């Protein structure tokens, strides 16, 4: 199964080569245009018309053969696609181990609660939203073994706005309505995972719990 997170480096490399190729073509067209102007400067209008037609045909040919620039997906897919069973997919069935590793790394001395909802994206790929209650985060999980490598980790305190108008064109931030929708979806087909504090960690005081 193709994963967006696994293809980002390939996409960037491909785009870099394509852009260099395009720069070379543009430079050649510029030189050809300058040469044409010099050759046809003393020519009558008919010659200039022929030169313009040749240049236009050259541009059309370059556009036809020029390799496309591939854009990596930067916006997270909506979590309203058809749900799937996490335990039925080899890339997602280890969800308990993944969230346990994440919790013990970021909040080892306290309990943590997660809700995970798997869904199909618009490209018919599988992804999941991981809602971390204590950390107040919603993390996009695309099957990678480490949630820290997610390309979309939304912090409810800073990445959520009131309305669509407040996004101001942002493709990263989300609205309160979107957060409520994702949370509601997770309550039904989603799975709940409770991660106890890591053994050997000191007991957290009530004041620390509140501040956390």
If asked whether residues 90 and 193 sit together in one domain, one would say yes
If asked whether residues 96 and 194 sit together in one domain, one would say yes
Query: What's the number of domains the chain is made of?
Result: 2
If asked whether residues 39 and 91 sit together in one domain, one would say no
| CA atoms 117, 139, 113, 2: torsion sign | positive
Residue in 142, 171, 153, 172 with CA at minimum distance from that of residue 6: 142
If asked whether residues 106 and 172 sit together in one domain, one would say yes
Tens of pLDDT along 148-164?
999 999 999 999 999 99
If asked whether residues 50 and 21 sit together in one domain, one would say yes
Q: In which domain, by residue range, is 45 found?
A: 4-65
Neighbours of 77 (CB within 10 A): 19
Identify whether 71 is part of a domain.
no
If asked whether residues 59 and 91 sit together in one domain, one would say no
Identify whether 119 is part of a domain.
yes
**Confidence (pTM):** 0.59
Identify whether 80 is part of a domain.
no
If asked whether residues 135 and 164 sit together in one domain, one would say yes
Q: Are 29 and 59 in contact (CB under 8 A)?
A: yes
If asked whether residues 53 and 92 sit together in one domain, one would say no
Q: Are 131 and 109 in contact (CB under 8 A)?
A: no
If asked whether residues 176 and 110 sit together in one domain, one would say yes
Q: Give 25 or 90, the one with higher predicted confidence.
A: 90
Q: Which two tokens stand for residue 21?
A: 């190729």
Tens of pLDDT along 69-88?
333 333 444 555 789 999 99
Identify whether 75 is part of a domain.
no
């Amino acid at each position: 199964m193709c994963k967006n997170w696994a293809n980002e480096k390939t996409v960037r490399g491909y785009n870099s080569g394509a852009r260099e190729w395009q720069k070379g073509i543009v430079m050649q067209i510029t030189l050809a245009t300058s040469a044409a102007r010099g050759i046809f400067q003393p020519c009558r209008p008919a010659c200039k018309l022929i030169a313009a037609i040749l240049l236009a045909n050259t541009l059309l040919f370059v556009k036809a053969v020029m390799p496309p620039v591939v854009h990596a997906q930067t916006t997270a897919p909506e979590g309203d696609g058809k749900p799937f069973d996490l335990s039925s997919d080899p890339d997602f069935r280890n969800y308990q181990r993944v969230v346990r590793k994440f919790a013990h790394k970021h909040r080892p001395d306290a309990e943590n609660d997660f809700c995970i909802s798997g869904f199909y994206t618009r490209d018919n790929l599988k992804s999941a939203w991981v809602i971390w209650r204590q950390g107040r985060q919603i993390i996009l999980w695309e099957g990678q073994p480490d949630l820290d490598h997610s390309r979309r980790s939304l912090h409810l305190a800073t990445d959520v706005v009131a309305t669509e108008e407040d996004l101001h064109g942002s493709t990263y931030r989300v609205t309160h309505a979107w957060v409520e929708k994702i949370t509601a979806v997770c309550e039904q087909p989603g799975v709940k995972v409770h991660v106890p504090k890591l053994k050997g960690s000191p007991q957290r005081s009530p004041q620390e719990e509140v501040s956390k």
